[in-house]
Amino acid sequence: MNPVQQAVVWLNDPLNWTNPGGILDRLGEHLSMSVAAVLLGCLVAWPVGLWLGHTGRGGGLVLLISNVTLAIPTLALLTILPLTFLGFGRPAVVVALAVFAVPPLLANAYTGVRQADPEARDAARGMGLSGGQVLRRVELPLAVPYLAAGFRTATVQVVATAALASFVNGGGLGQIIRAGFGLDIAAGGGQIIAGGLLVAGLALLVEGVLALVERVVTPRPLRRTRRAANRRAADATAGA
């Protein structure tokens, strides 16, 4: 039996889905971890990015953060954070994942506000809106396509990276792959590939769903800029 057939057999066994620590458990862990990390990332990155974009300062800082996080291995953060005050367990993993969600969210929030039509900004000023009002009522709505693109990139990246949480026994679907490697490559080959299929399938599914969401939340007149936002999102986060 070749490994792919073994993988099909493994996936076909209902016990592998419903056992404690089976696929369904791991999927739940994977999703809850990812959701928490993305939310945490949004809470930190969006206000900062919007504010930096509004004031027009800190472009260099945004770039620096993207470049530095690109160079830090995920494995390093996953192993370092549990040894700090965060302690072992879910919080440390979530924070580590959130760190990698920040650059795309931050860069897109910043660019989203920066690219707002200066004339619209001037007009809002002329109508007597204060700085905060301009940000909330003009720049923020115009930045929505960029925010959505950043959200999509960040979420897909977090879902992908969450597989690595298994290195520190953080749970998630990666655990299935690790367990497969823990057996023997001959005996565990099927399980390894099955785990890979689940992890990859989840990432592609999230990517597809969020592409749809992104289209829905983008106001019709702004849909033209969506492509540009996507491209920028890709540029801002090249590398995982």
Partner 1 sequence: MSFHLSRRAEPGNPWFSWQYVRDNSDTILAALREHASLTGRAVLIAALVALPLAVVAYWYRGLAGPILALTGVLYTVPSLALFAFLAPYLGIGAVTVLTVVVLYALLVIVRNAVAGLNQVPPEVRDAAEGMGYGRWARLFRVDLPLALPGILTGVRLATVSTVALVTVGVVVGRGGLGQLIFAGFQNNFYKAQIMTGTLLCVLLALVLDLLLAGVGRLLTPWLRGRSR
The burial class, CB within 10 Å (0-12 / 13-18 / 19+), for 76 is exposed
Based on CB atoms, which residue is closest to partner 1, 140 or 233? Answer: 233
Question: CA gyration radius for the chain?
Answer: 21
The burial class, CB within 10 Å (0-12 / 13-18 / 19+), for 58 is middle
Using CB under 8 A, count the residues that bind partner 1. Answer: 44
Residue 112 and residue 143: Cα distance in Å, rounded? 4
Contact status: 102 vs partner 1 (CB under 8 A)? no
CA distances from 32 to 29, 69, 158, 159, 226 (A): 5, 23, 11, 10, 28
Based on CB atoms, which residue is closest to partner 1, 61 or 75? Answer: 75
Structural contact between residues 49 and 62, judged by C-beta atoms closer than 8 angstroms: yes
Based on CB atoms, which residue is closest to partner 1, 95 or 156? Answer: 156
Based on CB atoms, which residue is closest to partner 1, 43 or 185? Answer: 185
Q: Which two tokens stand for residue 93?
A: 């993993």
**Binding residue for partner 1, selected from 38, 52, 113, 156, defined by CB under 8 A:** 156
Least gap, CB of 24 to partner 1 (angstroms) = 19
The one segment of 18-26, 46-54, 73-81, 220-228 that binds partner 1 by CB under 8 A:
73-81
Structural contact between residues 101 and 69, judged by C-beta atoms closer than 8 angstroms: no
Contact status: 93 vs partner 1 (CB under 8 A)? no
Least gap, CB of 156 to partner 1 (angstroms) = 6
Cβ contacts of 183-190, under 8 Å, gap ≥ 24: 189/3, 189/6, 189/7, 190/1, 190/3, 190/5, 190/6, 190/7, 190/8, 190/9, 190/10
Based on CB atoms, which residue is closest to partner 1, 139 or 214? Answer: 214
The one segment of 10-18, 53-61, 139-147, 163-171 that binds partner 1 by CB under 8 A:
163-171
Least gap, CB of 55 to partner 1 (angstroms) = 27
Structural contact between residues 30 and 159, judged by C-beta atoms closer than 8 angstroms: yes
Contact status: 230 vs partner 1 (CB under 8 A)? no
Site string for partner 1, 188-227 (x = CB under 8 A): -x--xx-xxx-xx--xx--x--------------------
Footprint on this chain of partner 1 (rule: CB under 8 A): 3, 67-68, 70-76, 79-80, 82-83, 156, 159-161, 163-164, 166-168, 174, 177-178, 180-181, 185, 189, 192-193, 195-197, 199-200, 203-204, 207, 234, 238-240
